[in-house]
Amino acid sequence: MPEPSGSHSRGVPVGSGTAPLVVLASGSPQRREILRKLGFEFEVVVPGVEELESGDPEFLVIENARRKARAVERPPGALVIACDTDVVLDGEVLGKPADAADARHYLDRMSGRGHTVMSGLVVLGEQGEERSGLERSEVVFKDIPEAEKQRYVDFGEWEGRSGGYAIQTLGSTLVERLEGSVSNVVGLPVGLLAQLAPVLFERV
């Protein structure tokens, strides 16, 4: 689902009349929380873009992040961070469940199996230069009992979530093993961000 165009909100307070150090081109509360914990000053601008929903997963997540980054206004000297995260199973990008029945179908497919959480990250630098990268995490779900699947669907955490789960809360009970970046699975790969925008981490 494309995010509403032109939506703005503050991350942490910035000085009056001062351009934000970082523009986060995303409406994701998980990404906002990660940046807050890193101590960055940032402004949230939700881009209104048409996102790709099918195709090669690596191309898709990077291209969607690029579209988000380019869709927002970048104040002079600010960095723009845009990320797109999705779950890939059997080479297919799952996207977000359309409804509760779809969410249950996702759990049926993923139970007892591994999947890849893939993020494309794009940073527009202080001079407008673009850097991009790809992060992968491998997640294996346990064999989920039928009652537990239904409990998770009823809990409603699947709504608006790529792959139909959130690892940071009740979704963690579905996971047997995770290899790679946890922050990537949450929605913003911090290690990759440090590679693409090291200047930010010099100021943390």
The closest of 162, 189, 173 to 88, measured between CA atoms, is 162
Q: Counting beta carbons within 10 angstroms of the beta carbon of residue 199, is it exposed (0 to 12), middle (13 to 18) or buried (19 or more)?
A: exposed
Question: Residues with Cβ < 8 Å from 184, sequence gap 6 or more?
Answer: 85, 117, 119, 135, 136, 137, 192
Helix (H) or strand (E) holding 139: strand 130-141
State the first-to-last Cα distance of the chain, in angstroms, to the nearest integer: 33
Give catalytic residue positions: 84
Question: Residues with Cβ < 8 Å from 145, sequence gap 6 or more?
Answer: none
The closest of 153, 11, 135, 152 to 62, measured between CA atoms, is 135
Report CA-CA distances (Å) from 114 to 38, 97, 138, 139.
30, 18, 7, 5
The C-alpha angle with vertex 169 and arms to 147 and 113, in degrees rounded to 5, equals: 55
Q: Which structure tokens are listed for 88?
A: 């890939």
